[in-house]
Every structure is written in C-alpha cells, then in structure tokens.
Structure 1
Amino acid sequence: MLSPYIKLNDNCGLCSKLRSANSDKDFLFDGGHNLYIFKSPFAEKWPGALMPIFKRHIYEQSDIRPSDLPDTLHTLVCLEKALRKVTNCKRMNLVKFANISHHLHWHLIPRYHNENYSNKCSWELENISREKIYSKIEDSFFENASLYEQIKNQSLFEIKNRGSPYFGCALFLRPIDKEIRNKFFTLSLDEIIQLARKNPEQWECLLMKRNYHDFAWDFIGGNCEINEYPEFGMIREVKEEVGWNITKYKEVTRQWKMGAIKGIVYLAIPENENYLEDDPERVHCAEVETVKYFNLIEIINSSNFVDSVKGRIKAFIENKADFDSIDQ
C-alpha cells in the first residue's frame, strides 16, 4: 500500500495517479515496497504492457536510494518473467521515459511474433496504427481483461516466490594451540568466539576453493533459496558442499551492501569432530575443488583472498558488521 508518510508532488500527474490508484481503471496491483503497477498506455497496441510507477516523487533511476535498488530491480524482473510466461511474447521492450511526466516510471512492452515492424522499438511505432503493426491478428487479441488478470496473478506469484537476495555461510574455526584443540568440543560457542577474537593470530578458518572459473577461496555456504532464512541456507549449503550436519551455530557478523543486509556469517560446529583435521573427510561436490585451513590474520593481509572473505574475517574479529567489502 501507499504509505501516508511518502511525500508526493501536488503538481505531478503520476503522483496524482498514485494517490487515486484504487479508483483508477488502469491500476492493477501493489508491487511491493517501491512500485505500483498500472496498465501501460502502450497496451492499446501491445496487450499486456505494464507501467510500474515508483512510489516516491523522484526523477531518475540514479535517485533511487541504495537500499531500495535491489527490491526495485527484482520487482521489474518479476514483472518481465510474468509477462513472458502469460503472453508468450517474442521479446520485451523495457523503457524509462522522462519526456512527458518527470516522475520515475517504466514501460514493459511485450513484442509479439506476428509483428510487421519487429526490427523497430515500440516507441518508434507511435504513429503506426495497431492494424498495420500486425500481419495477422484476431479482434479478441485486444480484449485483454482476462489477460491482465492472468498477468496480475502471475506477477504476484513471481514477486512472492522470487529468489532470496541473502546468503548464509559457516565460519569453521580451529585453534592452532593443540592443548586448546584437544578440549575444543568442551568449549561453548561464546567461549570459542571470545578466544578467537582475543588472539586471532592463534586461530584458523576453514575455506573452500570453489570449482568455478576463478577458483577463489570462499566460505562454505551460499545463497538462500526462496523464502529461506540465512541460517537454514547455511545449514543446507554446508550439507550439500561438504556433507556435514551442523549441530550448533551462532551468528557472528553480517555483511551489508548498498545500505541493505547481504548475508550473515555463523560460527558453526558440525557433528563430525574430524572437521578439525588438515584434510577433513567430506563428500564430493562438483562446486568444491578442495578445502583448507588458513590463519585468520593471514587471510586479512594476503592478496590471495577476495575482499568479501577478508571483510567477514575482519568484521568477526572486531565484533562488528562489514560495510566495506567491495566484491560481495
């Protein structure tokens, strides 16, 4: 819904459209935090065309707050997915105009297989009648009440079930001191955290080398699935990548990007105590080339590790969140 705290412009046509959305015949649905979705004026020639309008009175995409960018982009992608599925169009035009109403909005326009001007963009065909645009068309093609109901339902489904923007990963710590290592499993999570933060040069972290094109060292863990909490994403990814069952875990730091939480790091203890060995037993996973323990301070100071890995370790040691990593 449109928050009463959102400041709109009294002299803006699209702000007026937002205010009166519930009585607007072209209003379709609320697209979430940042967008209201309307039927586009381009629907007269391209049935299914949508017009998402940003809920605040800003002018350009570069005016979107960093914390709102991921949600806005994800919603636009969900709308495109819905249009492609419902209309079975050949391709999509996604445009942002600022020549009539200077309020951020877009038009998503499905382009169809039987068009005569498929090599031209939709806005180049403004003066071409819809009858001339298509080589063969049924009159029912433009009777789109049920079409928009399908688009609405599919769009809301895509938005609700879109992929999670978060990750969850495991921090597997190992003390260098053999005496501490021998009693490691008698320590509580808080005691392990306290000892590692107090003397990080005496502690190591298990990383995996990803079997991708860059073969980068990374934490064990990964992106969450649809509607999955980061802690459960971490547990699932650990099981998939090394085959371990996590018995105890605790959040130790968070990574942020562009003003929004990107992911959460958990100190994790698996049920198999052999994970403290130099070459711990693990399942084969195509994504993982190998695993290895590295000194915490070495990770921070070495150029062999990507910025996000170094940022997680540094943030853990300093007991704060990571806002500075550039490659998350």
Structure 2
Amino acid sequence: MILDEKQAAITDTIFCVSAADSSRAYIPATLISGRRKGPTFTIAAGIYGMGYPAIASLLQLRREIDPEKLSGCLIIIPIMNLESFYNRTPLANPADHLNLDLAFPGSPAGTITEVTADFITTGIFDATDIFLDIHGGGVNENLVPHACYYDNKELQHQTQLAARLSEISGLAAVVSLPYNQPSGHPARQAFKQAVRLGIPALSITVGKLGSYEKTDIVSAKNAVYRMMQELNMYDNKKVLTASPLKRSYTEQVSVTGPGRGLFYSSFKAGAIVTKDEEIGYITDVFGRNIKIITAPVSGTILKKNTGLAVNEGETLFYIGSGQK
C-alpha cells in the first residue's frame, strides 16, 4: 500500500482492479506524506467522468503541496472513474453502464464498477481519517457552489467535524442532509459510504460536468486548503480565511418534471423562492398543453436544469430549505 512509503515524499501510483469477466479499471492516486504526524485526508474527484473543475483542482493541489510543510498524509484520487473520463460518459462506466457514485459499498465479485467501489471502500477508506468528494453539477445545470454533509446523530463528533469543514470552505452555501441509512441497505454514494464507516465525510459541488472554468477550479482548491488549515495539516498563507457563512440549509428538495416536453424557467441558481410560487413550466413540442411547475417549499434554488428537453421524473430544481 502506498501509505507505507517514507515521510516527506510524493508517491504516484495507478491501482488496477479487475472483475470476473476480465474487465479492468485503473485508479490513479497520489500519496503526499508529510514531515510531521497528522491525520490522513483523502480527497477524490472524477467519480463522474466529466467533472473537470474538480479534477483540475486536485491536479493543481498535487503540484503545489510541499510535503516538508505537511502534517499527516494526503491521498489524492484525481480521477476515480478513469474509463468514464476518457470515454466522456459522465454518469456510467461504458464497460457495465453503471454509475460509480451509486455502486457503494460495491462487491469484489461484481461488475467492474462494483469491484472499483469495493476497492475504494476496503482499500482506501480503511486508511482514511477524513474524506472529501469533489464534483460538479450536471452538464445542463446552473448551480450555487455548495458543501454538503450528512447529519449523523449517532456519530456526533464526526458530524460536527464535517459541518465545520463545510462551513469554513468558503463556498456560498452548506446543506446538511438527514442521515437515514436502514440496516442492510447499501449506502450507494461514495461519501455516504464513508459516513457509514464512521469517517467524517463531506462533498462539495462546483462548476458543472464538461466545463473548465478557472474560477471553479480555484474555488474548489481553496476550499481544500481551508480544510487542511482547520485540520492543522497545512497553511497556505495566500488563501484567505473565508467570510462567515451566510446560507445554511437542513434540507435539499428536488423538483421533478411532471411530464415529457420543453422546459422553460426564468429563475436561476441562487434565486429565493416561496412555497407554491410558479418557477417554470413545460409544454409539448408545439408550445401547447402547458404544465405549471411550482416550488414545493420556500428556500433558495441551489441547482437548476438549464436544458430545454426534459422527460417525466427528471430533476429540474434542487431547492435548499430549512435555513438555519
């Protein structure tokens, strides 16, 4: 395991996992071992193959970190889903058509995506003290950059640390999700699986799939630097302390399409809406048969689907509500 390497060093490796059908997946990882003792902070991107701002932010971070100034270890996985990345299929591995972020905890006897999830669960999470997943919104999404964590009442210390790291990230909003994980049901998401294992874990969302904006890259990278400073792991004096958090929510409500058609809305991410307010509508291909879309709760639009074509059940909005 790369964690066995000597201190004050940067070690790059590519793990190879294989399934029973001989299909393979490759997972690039960098271990940065610090001069002083400290926690192991694992940061992953590219679980969705086109999350370019998240991927670029970790590649820049890998170049910038000086292991002589680091306390503890960083495990950086810049592209968790390499096959999806190179095939430009953001939500699925082309080998088995499964979404890695819905495959946890995985299975060593499953398809290649399930084997990959099992490797992350057993090979990476077992060596992890804190876990961060960085990704972007959908290809056709306008969003407010935000951090997200699960409010696990049974593990208060871990939840408090995840909440604190979210709050000091410098992102525009924080969403605290209720942790409901029935026994015997898979966690599905990577960072929810980490929470299930008792690891303080959070996720941040910046930019969107397929985009490559410098501001999104810097925002994600600076969020990581602030977290490392909070963990007493690294101090980058060029990164300013974030302004006090202004928006924090205890719920994220999805608004789905009532039917197939063309979607219209003048609202943008960041807009404040009230319950039952009209926030968009759908028509058929002739512009007729209008179906009105209303806000189910009062709150702030965190994500908005910017596509014109929609199908029944597709998410059109995510609304942050229950503001603290």
Structure having the larger proportion of residues in strand = 2
With normalisation by structure 2, the TM-score equals 0.21
Bigger relative contact order (CA 8 A; separation at least 6):
2
TM-score (norm 1): 0.20
